[in-house]
Structure 1
Amino acid sequence: MPRRYAFRRAEEATHPDSIRATLAEFISTFIFVFAGEGSLLALGKIYKEPAGTTASELVAIALAHALSFFAAVSASLNISGGHLNPAVTFGTLLGGRISVLLAVYYWVAQLLGSVVAALLLRLATNNMRPVGLFVTSGVGELHGLLLEIVMTFSLVYTVYATAIDPKRGSLGTIAPLAIGFILGANILVGGPFDGASMNPARAFGPALVGWRWRNQWIYWVGPLLGGGLAGLVYEYMVIPTEVPHHTHQPLAPEDY
């Protein structure tokens, strides 16, 4: 069955399902960024040095991100599809699983959720400046870009395989766990090199509130390229064309 791309009808802009899904993306992204960035600030408070400089700190950071992402995806999966990430939304947009209008709603909600999380962290920690993400010393920007592409590809590919694929069957019940696992595993790999963002929203909020823009471009270009590629590969090379095309999020399917 051919994939269908749509801007959606005008009434989607105020459709209750669209509003609920957008709100879910905002809250879930807030939960994820608050815990993820908060773990960096907490370790900095404990050890009085940049977080992630030791193996145990790296494990703690990866665990905080994996657990919070698992919880946030679980909380929003049946409402918005549990994207929490502009790169995931971009991959599903290229795969024809979400409309352009809803994708824009999601992007705005995800970025706002990240900014609010970073603002509240700064307020709650007595004005501790968000750490944000950056390429570490001795690692080139192009190396960081390649890492972001590969790690985000694996993340979005896992999202497709466990949460979107029409033939996933009972595998869908462990989708949040699998997605959280691959996120945590990628942080263990990429964390010491570039912070392992895989998510433009994760990078944007702390960068804005902490005003740390170094290397910011790779946390947009890399994830969007990797996520878009994963969406196209899985949609057109893995999912059989005869399988009926269902939307990723349970939003008014009759409007497609």
Structure 2
Amino acid sequence: MGSCRRSGTGGPSPRVTRTARPSRRPDVAVPLSRALVAEGLGTFALVFFGPGAAVVQAQTGALGHLGVAAVFGLTVTAVIAALAPISGAHINPAATFALTLAGKFPRARVLPYVAAQLLGAVLAAFVLLALFGLKGGLGVTVPAGSVAQAFVLELVLTFFLLLVALRSGLPWVVGGVVALGAAMGGPITGASMNPARSFGPALASGLWTAHWLYWAAPLLGAVLAVAANHVLSPTEPVEPRPHLAQEFQPEGEPT
């Protein structure tokens, strides 16, 4: 690079100058303060619209169970599409944990990201409390069956959500998996798949029944998703995938 080579006709070949492309990784290129604002706003939106839809359903019956699931999925899709270029749009401590285990996110930013996610969730839950009171329990996640049943269901739902996010990350795909999980598991566990989503409404409502499982199960699901993704792709992704929501492009990689 930068040298002058002779061509087959004896003349000098054109000088080729290459410039390094700036990194597109949100965790590298974007200041931490901006990334934290994006994570806080994204998680605020998730809790405001998702559990908010559950509250509206409890109050009016207008949405139905599948309608609430659709609101969750559409919210995640919109948030990822809007905020992934800034922060990666984790909006979920389990997603941040999974990306860190997979070596795709810097460890130094884990605690600030989780703090921003929890803050956004708490603020949204208290806004819902101010608007609706405790109708619908603010969409708090509480097991309808046994704790063991809820734990396994949350683990499996989170596992598939994060596996899909690690391998695809496209906004509509991740949002679709969230809607699918909410449709299937919502009546049993609330289909949290996200400790921040459970923490905000629990704090605002004061309902902490079996709250620990909404941390333990998603985090364990994250570990299993990373392990499964490594088995499926031990070195590189199957193919280049632009505009990923939750997997960052390696620094300096051409687009």
Alpha-carbon shift at residue 107 of structure 1 (Å): 0.5
Q: Please tell me whether residue 237 in structure 1 is matched to residue 231 in structure 2.
A: yes
Q: Residue 73 of structure 2: SS of its match in structure 1?
A: helix
Alpha-carbon shift at residue 239 of structure 1 (Å): 2.4
Instruction: Normalising by structure 1, report the TM-score.
Output: 0.79
Give the whole-Å Cα distance in 2 for the aligned partners of 1:226 and 1:68: 22
Q: Which amino acid aligns with 2:199?
A: F
Could you give the per-residue CA deviations for residues 168-196 of structure 1, whole angstroms, max 9, x where no partner exists? xxxxxxx0100000010011111111111
Give the whole-Å Cα distance in 1 for the aligned partners of 2:188 and 2:158: 15
Alpha-carbon shift at residue 16 of structure 1 (Å): 5.6
Structure-2 residue corresponding to 1:42: 56
Contact 2:134 2:205 in 1 (8 A): no
Give the whole-Å Cα distance in 1 for the aligned partners of 2:31 and 2:200: 26
Alpha-carbon shift at residue 130 of structure 1 (Å): 1.7
The correspondence for 1:184, drawn from 179, 184, 203, is: 179
In structure 2, runs of 5+ residues without a counterpart are 1-26, 238-243
The correspondence for 1:72, drawn from 67, 79, 82, is: 79
The correspondence for 2:128, drawn from 121, 125, 134, is: 121
Q: Please tell me whether residue 228 in structure 1 is matched to residue 235 in structure 2.
A: no
Give the whole-Å Cα distance in 2 for the aligned partners of 1:68 and 1:27: 12
Structure-1 residue corresponding to 2:66: 59
Contact 1:79 1:250 in 2 (8 A): no
Give the whole-Å Cα distance in 1 for the aligned partners of 2:85 and 2:60: 37
Structure-1 residue corresponding to 2:143: 135
Could you give the per-residue CA deviations for residues 24-67 of structure 1, whole angstroms, max 9, x where no partner exists? 111001011100111111112214xxx9xxxx721011011111
Give the whole-Å Cα distance in 2 for the aligned partners of 1:152 and 1:242: 23
Q: How many residues of Structure 1 are paired with residues of Structure 2 in the alignment?
A: 220
Q: Which amino acid aligns with 1:59?
A: L
Change (3 A) 1:95 1:240: same
Q: Which amino acid aligns with 1:162?
A: S
Contact 1:87 1:228 in 2 (8 A): no
Instruction: Normalising by structure 2, report the TM-score.
Output: 0.79
The percentage of counterpart residues that share the same residue type is: 34
Q: Please tell me whether residue 248 in structure 1 is matched to residue 254 in structure 2.
A: no
Moved over 6 A (4+): none
Q: Which amino acid aligns with 1:119?
A: F
Structure-2 residue corresponding to 1:214: 209
Contact 1:150 1:226 in 2 (8 A): yes
Give the whole-Å Cα distance in 1 for the aligned partners of 2:236 and 2:131: 52
Give the whole-Å Cα distance in 2 for the aligned partners of 1:223 and 1:126: 28
Give the whole-Å Cα distance in 1 for the aligned partners of 2:139 and 2:235: 45
Q: Residue 51 of structure 2: SS of its match in structure 1?
A: helix
Structure-2 residue corresponding to 1:167: none
Give the whole-Å Cα distance in 2 for the aligned partners of 1:88 and 1:74: 16
Structure-1 residue corresponding to 2:101: 94
Q: Which amino acid aligns with 1:192?
A: P
In structure 1, runs of 5+ residues without a counterpart are 1-12, 164-174
Structure-1 residue corresponding to 2:4: none
Structure-2 residue corresponding to 1:161: 167
